[in-house]
Each structure stands twice: as structure tokens, then as C-alpha cells.
Structure 1
Amino acid sequence: MVSTFHGLELGKRGLSVGQASLSTTGQNIANVNTKGYSRQQVNSSASPSLSVWTAQGANTGQLGTGVTIDSITRVRDRFLDQQFRDHSETLGQWQAKQTTLDRLETIVNEPSDSGLNSAMNSLNSAWQDLANEPDSLSAQAIVKERAQGFVEVAQSMNKSMTNLKSELTQQTQEAVAEANDYLKQITELNKSIVRNGNQSNDLKDKRDALVEDLSKLMAVKVDEKSDGSYSISLSSNKQALVAGEKVSEIDVDSVTTNPKSYGGKLAGLGASMDSAIHYQDKLISVVKNFTQANTMTKTGGADQALFIGDADNFNLSELKVNYAAKPLKQPAATDKPSEDAQSYFRELVSELGAESQAAISSVTNHEATLQATENRRQSVTGVSLDEEMANLVKYQHSYNAAARLVSMTDQMLDTIINRMAN
């Protein structure tokens, strides 16, 4: 037989679900502008029914007992989350490359009136003036001054490229430290989520935000276990980084040795280092060929060449102008080797410009792709004020109706208890 207080239980359960739904909606509205917040929803289902007597006999009827709250979960799309992480990793890689190439273009500073090509042209012009007036002391002095200007420009570029390589090394160390910090924080959140239960929505939001930051640094694959913890590994070789409550930190040496396997900004910094080394080597080759074309010797002196340097073990930072040389005479075969050196430098500038433009285009394209993915993801997990306001009205009516059911049942019980005896 159904309890006399069955209606009160129905109403109470309706009130509980309505109150939870209203509170969850309020939570969504309050966090509409909170970065990393995932929209939450109350999942409910009909509670088990009671068997009742009917005209057909025992246990032939089912009487509902109301509603029960199953869970309060975040609204997420794992596929879109992984897509976002993948695009974020690719963008981070190209941004690191583009930043370095932009720095290299600034260092090379071509075309300009103060770059290396202009310095080489100025020295060639000074040689021509000396050829017209071989005995002119001022013409000889100008050749040496133009040569000194060439050396200063070349050494300044070389020093800037060396500094850039040092900065890239430091950035790699900082990125590795940052990645390890993210891994440790994710591991700690794994512990908290397992301890507090799989419905720890706020903790999961914090963890997902850390995973997204981590994906900018390297390419990762994320698997969620049944207890709510994350297992994280490298996408390239499945190297385990986080396994539940265990963390495996990465080290700078492994990243420097094989940056491509890590992806993201770490791979971009590795490629940036390769570019810096490549263009510095080309610069040194240009300077060496040009100085040799304009005569270079290991020792200075009146009867020696214009430049002082070791052709066999060329060191650009030690290159000097031989001010003691006199009288200066233009080498017989200066034109062709000098032109070849300048042509090689123009090739360097063209290669750098093309690579930089390709990097800028890639960054632009991947930014657009990432934004499109984020828009699709926000359409699922983001908070819509219009939708939440509509839910607010719906849940309010549901709550009011459940409250009315309790009041009506109370009146019925009052009639039975207090009035039937009269």
C-alpha cells in the first residue's frame, strides 16, 4: 500500500532537484566571464517506482516516486578539447620560430644604408678611388676606415647572433622548468580529484586549464581514467609524463638533443636554434670570403694585407684592420671574389626573408584555426546568458510547482488527520 505521505516525498524530491538546478544555473551565470570555466548541468532521472495493487492483481502497477539527482557534471567535448590542444601546440611551435626569424631579420638589417652589404659596397668604392689616385694618402686612409666600418658591422651582427643563441638556450631552460611545473600541478590535482570524487568539477576545470597551457609548450595526449585522473604522454613517442599520481619530469638535455619529439614551443625553440646557427655560419662565411678577396694575413705590418685574421681558423670576433699597411694596393683579383661574397650575402638575406614570410603566414593560419576550434568548443562548454536565463525561468516554475504539490498534500493530510474525526 502506498504511504499516506507519498505526496510529500514526491514534492520534497522535486524541490531538491529544482533547488539544485537553480543553484547550478546561478553558478553558471556567476562564472560567465571566468576563464577556463565549464558550464555545469544537473543530471536527474526518475527514481525507482513502487509496485501497487491494481484490478489485475498484485505487482501489476507501478507508481512513480519522483525524481533523483544522478550527478552534476561539466559540459565538455573531449574531441574538441584534443583538437584545441593539437592546434595550440602547432601554433606555439610556429610562434617561437617566427619570433626568432624576426629577430634575425632585425640583426641582418637588409636592405638598409647601414647594413653589411652597404659596408661592402663602401669598401669597393674606396678601392676604386684609390685605383684612380694610387699615391693619395687620404684615399688610402679612406680604404682603411671603410674596412674598419665593415669589420664593426660584421662583428656587431655576429655578436647579436651569439646573444640570440644564448637567449634561446635560456628560453629552452625556462620552458622546460615551466612544463615540469605544470606536470607537477596536474599530478597534485589528480590526487585531489581521486580523493574528492569524480564529480570535482572546479578541480577538473583547473586541471584542464593547466593541460592547455602545457599543450602550448609540447604536444601531449590526454587519457581520462575511470577514477577521474589524467594520464598524459607525449604524442610523438608515447613517453609517459603523468600517470595518475606519478609524474615524470623532462630534462633540458633530452629536449636539446631531440626537440622535434616534444613539439610545441620546445620544438620551435629547437628549430630556432638551428636557424640561428645556420645564419651565423653563413654570415661568417660571407665575411671570411670578402676579407680574403680584399687580402687578409695572420700578422700585420707595412708590407702586409688590409685585414688581420687567420683564414685557416677564422674567428670573426678577432678580425682587425691592418692600419700599419702602406702603401695599400688593390689586389689584382678583387672584383670577382668580392662580388661572389656579396652575392652569397644577398642569397642569405633572400633565404631569411622567405623563411620569415612563411613563418608569419603559418602563424596567421594556425591562429585562425585555433580560434575557430575555440569558438566551436565554447558553443558546447561556454556559458550562454540567454540560455541560462531561460533555464532560470524553467527551473523556477518547476520549483514552484513542486512547492505547490507539497502544500496541496499538506492540506489533504490536514483534512484526513484533523477533520475526518469531526
Structure 2
Amino acid sequence: MSSFGGLSTAYTGLVAARKALEVTGQNVANANTEGYTRQRVDQSPMAQSVLATYFTQSSVGDGVVVTGVSRLNDAVVDARVNSTASSAAYWNASANAASAVETSLNEPGKNGLSQVMSDFWSSWQQMANNTGGSTAPAQALNLISQGNLVASTISAGYTAAAEAWTDARAAAASIVTTVNATAAKIADLNTSIRSLTAAGGNVNGLLDQRDAAVTQLAKLTGASTRGNADGSIDVIIGGNTLVSGSTTRQVALSGAGDFSAVASTPVKLAWDSPTGSAVSLDGGELAGRIAALQPADAGGSGTGGVYAEAAKAYDDAARSIADKVNAVHETGTTSAGTTGLDFFSYSATSPAALTLKVVPTSLAGIASADGTKGNLDNSVADRIAQLGAAADSPNAGWATYVSRVGGQSATAAARATTATTAATSATDAQTSVSGVDLDEETSNLVMYQHAYQASARVINTINDILDTLINMGAR
């Protein structure tokens, strides 16, 4: 190698060390940047460009060349982050919905429907124990008040479930908007990455942005990706392509916009196109929210959407208590000798939970006697009081529902905890591979600084040698 060749070799070392220092500085600057993937300079030795001869016998190469800057990520770990994020988001959405419904029931508690119905049966028992006299009107008013409290509690519960459904649908619609915007962002990034790659530019920053967008879509929809030869990716949801290179499809939330229509037109995710075919999601928060928005199971299994199941439970309780009380009350006789009266009424065309009302307004409308045992008879009131203890009582039906929703909430919460733990583990593994370790970067800074100084020292040494040779020739 000639002295001038040595200068060239040392110069390539300076360039490589400086580039490595710049990349290390980039890593340090982004140590706290979310989604940033650490980078490293790729170097390769330059091959000898001139064959050795009698006059140039050295076989040393021509230095070093920077071949690129790599992102230190692991595709397998990244895919695991996305899949576990999808599962965690789904179960957290399901657990939150079930927990919200369970909390709204106020069970057990003095404001829960169980306690309100128990107090109602106790009021009937007080009527049955009444032997007449001045307390009867007051006891009748107390009974009517307790009946109205049953009706208002059921109505409030049904209304709360319907309002929660409306809020959940609005939240799902907001997620759909985010999905479409994120898909469009990925398509734009695909275009930029493809163009910059073809021009030989560094696309690492764009890849970080795209990976972050893909992870967000995975959390929302359970999306997966497929790589293309030009550096772009396709995004798949439910087996269908959402993003293909630089083009994207739009999705929309279809079905019932109001809780009253949920049974006839269930909410679903569909392609925003003339065909509007349904989109089947593999996971993600949106899938969990849509599952919660589904109608109640017609077969009574309780496996439908949590909000509709809650409303159905209140509606069933309203019908049950009205029908069972009325069936006995109609056989009774009022103090005026009137028979065939209902204690409760509700609409046949609207939800019973919203239209349940107490018919009597005073003692005169309460049929507590059977009409054959004298003026002090309250045997019908006693029979109604015992309805609460029957195997098929409204209380038993309500207790079954409360137990079921409690079990569903506990199961969803446990699944959410497990899925979140798996997602956290995957994220930690990704951080250990792709995250910036400041201790490591500090060590690299020292190493590259010494490499730069060593290359500079080589140049200085060769310069001294050349200066000595030039001075010798001048003598």
C-alpha cells in the first residue's frame, strides 16, 4: 500500500467512525421516544482494488465502507406484540363492559332490585297481617309506594342499560373513524417508504411510524400484516385486505343506531361500499365493543350483548312480577266487594320495564281478601306475599341473572389480566431487542470516538512520514 493509499484507508475509517457516532447520537436523542427502534451502522471492509506487484506487494484492502444503517428489531417479536395487544384489548373491552353492567345493578345493596322486591313482598305481608282499623289506609299507601318503587327501579335499570348501549355504540363509531384514519396513514407511509427505498434513502424513521400504526390497528381490530418486495406492507383484518400498498378500503359501523332496534338490526362492522358486506374481526378493542352491543340471546342463555341482556333481565322481571301478582290479585276482593282487578299494568307493545305501573291509588283498589271469609280476611294478600319465596318467583329469576353477569364479569376480568400480562411480556421483549440502552450507547460512543481518533492518528503519522521523505529529498 502506498502512503497515499494509506491516507485513503484512514479517511474511510474517519468517515465510518463519524457516521457511527452520528447514529449513536440519534439513538441517545430518541432514548425516550415511543416507538423508536435503535439503529446501528453496517460496515464492510473494502476489497483491495489493485493486484500486488513487485513494486506494490501489500495485500491489505482499501479501508472500510458504510453499507447502511439497520434497525435492530425482531419481526417475530414485533408480530407477538401485535397479537398479544389484540387479545388484551379485546378482553379489556369485554371486562369493562361487563363490570360496568354489574356495578349498575347495585347488587347486593339496599338500592338493588332484589332488596326493593323483598320490601314489596314484606308490604303485602303487612297487609295480610292487618286486622282492619285506622292503620289499613296507611298500610295500603305504603304498599302502593313500594309497588311504585319496584316499577321505578326496573325502569331506571332498563334506561341505564339502554343509555350505556348508546354510549358504547358512539365509542365504537369513534374507533371506526380511528381505524380508517390509521389505515390511510399506513398507505401514505407505504408510498413514502417505497419511493425513498428506490432512491436509496434511509427509511428507518418511516418504518418506526408504520410499525406504531400497525400496532395501533392490531389493538383496535386484531389486524395482521404481509410484506411486499417493494418495502410496502398489506394490512389484513378478518382475512380481508384493509391496506394494499398505497390503497386502502374504508370500514363503517352499520346496524341499529338506537337501542330499540338492536334486536332487529344488530350492530356490525362492514365495508363502506355499495355491497357493505360484514367484516369479521379476529380480535381487538372494536371486536369486544361490538360483541357487547349485540342483542340479547333469544334462547335465554344470557350469552348476548351485556347491555341488551341487562335490559332483557329488567324487562323479564317487570313482566314476571306483574303477571304473578295480577294472577292472584284478580281472584281477590276489595273492601267494596269489587273483584277481577289488576295491581300492575304494562304496555303490550312497548318494553314492560318502561311502562310498568301500579293501578290502585288507595286502599279501595287493593283486593286483599277472597270474599268468602268475612271482613277481616286478607288471605289473598298473604298469597301474594308468599310469591317472593316461590321457586319461580321474580326474585329467583333476577338472582339467576345477577349471578350470571357476575360470573361473566369475573371471567372476562381474569382473561383480561392474563392477556394483559402476555402483552406486557411481549412489549418488554420488544424493548429489550429494539429499545435504546443508554449504558450501551455510552460505551459505543467511547468506542467510536477512539476509532475516529485512531484513524486521525494514522493520517497524522502518514503525514509525518511524507513530510520527512519530502524533506530528505530536498537536501
Same fold (TM over 0.5): yes
Counterpart for residue 242 of structure 1: 243
**1:40–1:73 CA contact under 8 A, matched in 2:** yes
Deviations 1:114-154 (A, max 9, x none): 11111111110011111112641111111100000111111
SS state of the match for residue 51, structure 2? strand
Do residues 289 (structure 1) and 320 (structure 2) align? Answer: yes
Task: Single out whichever of 376-385 and 251-260 deviates more from structure 2.
Answer: 251-260
Counterpart for residue 315 of structure 1: 352
State how far apart, in whole Å, the 1-side matches of 2:118 and 2:227 are.
Answer: 64
Do residues 375 (structure 1) and 406 (structure 2) align? Answer: no
Do residues 349 (structure 1) and 363 (structure 2) align? Answer: no
Q: Which one-letter code corresponds to 1:23 in the other structure?
A: E
Identity across matched positions, percent: 26
Q: Which one-letter code corresponds to 1:252 in the other structure?
A: L
SS state of the match for residue 63, structure 1? coil
Q: 1:278 to 1:258 in 2, by over 3 A?
A: farther
Shift of 1:313: 5.9
Counterpart for residue 376 of structure 2: none
Deviations 1:190-235 (A, max 9, x none): 122222226311121111111111111011111232332221112x
Among 109, 114, 138, the alignment partner of 1:112 is 109
Shift of 1:271: 1.7
Which consecutive unaligned segments of at least 5 residues does structure 1 have?
Answer: none
Shift of 1:165: 1.0
Do residues 401 (structure 1) and 432 (structure 2) align? Answer: no
Counterpart for residue 27 of structure 1: 26
Counterpart for residue 65 of structure 1: 62
Shift of 1:318: 1.6
Shift of 1:5: 1.6
Shift of 1:311: 5.3
Task: Single out whichever of 275-284 and 344-353 deviates more from structure 2.
Answer: 275-284
Q: How does 1:48-197 map to 2 (within 5 A)?
A: 48-54=47-53, 62-133=59-130, 135=132, 136-197=136-197
Q: Which has the larger share of helix? A: 1
Q: Which one-letter code corresponds to 2:20 in the other structure?
A: S
Deviations 1:74-121 (A, max 9, x none): 111110111000010111111111111111012211000111111111
**1:44–1:67 CA contact under 8 A, matched in 2:** yes
**1:255–1:262 CA contact under 8 A, matched in 2:** no
Q: How does 1:5-16 map to 2 (within 5 A)?
A: 5-16=4-15
Among 263, 271, 275, the alignment partner of 2:291 is 271
In the TM superposition, structure 1's runs of 4+ consecutive aligned residues that sit over 6 Å from their partners are: none
Q: Which one-letter code corresponds to 1:205 in the other structure?
A: D
**2:360–2:366 CA contact under 8 A, matched in 1:** no
What is the count of residue pairs matched by the alignment?
415
Counterpart for residue 36 of structure 2: 37
Q: How does 1:183-262 map to 2 (within 5 A)?
A: 183-197=183-197, 199-234=202-237, 236-237=238-239, 239-253=240-254, 254-255=268-269, 261-262=281-282
**1:288–1:314 CA contact under 8 A, matched in 2:** no
State how far apart, in whole Å, the 1-side matches of 2:289 and 2:279 are.
Answer: 8
State how far apart, in whole Å, the 1-side matches of 2:228 and 2:51 are.
Answer: 42
Among 440, 459, 471, the alignment partner of 1:387 is 440
SS state of the match for residue 233, structure 1? strand
Which consecutive unaligned segments of at least 5 residues does structure 2 have?
Answer: 255-267, 271-276, 294-304, 369-379
State how far apart, in whole Å, the 2-side matches of 1:259 and 1:189 are.
Answer: 24
Q: Which one-letter code corresponds to 2:37 in the other structure?
A: S
Shift of 1:3: 5.3
**1:50–1:62 CA contact under 8 A, matched in 2:** no
Query: How large is the Cα RMSD of the aligned pairs?
Result: 2.5
Task: Single out whichever of 103-112 and 186-195 deviates more from structure 2.
Answer: 186-195
Q: Which one-letter code corresponds to 1:201 in the other structure?
A: N
State how far apart, in whole Å, the 2-side matches of 1:61 and 1:27 are.
Answer: 38
Q: 1:259 to 1:293 in 2, by over 3 A?
A: farther
Task: Single out whichever of 45-54 and 307-316 deviates more from structure 2.
Answer: 307-316
State how far apart, in whole Å, the 2-side matches of 1:379 and 1:308 are.
Answer: 66
State how far apart, in whole Å, the 1-side matches of 2:344 and 2:456 are.
Answer: 97
SS state of the match for residue 52, structure 2? strand
Deviations 1:15-53 (A, max 9, x none): 000001111111111111111111010001011222423
Shift of 1:327: 3.8
**1:307–1:321 CA contact under 8 A, matched in 2:** yes
Q: 1:383 to 1:323 in 2, by over 3 A?
A: same
Taking structure 2 as the reference length, what is the TM-score of the superposition?
0.82
State how far apart, in whole Å, the 2-side matches of 1:411 and 1:347 are.
Answer: 94
State how far apart, in whole Å, the 2-side matches of 1:259 and 1:95 are.
Answer: 21
SS state of the match for residue 97, structure 1? helix
Counterpart for residue 265 of structure 2: none
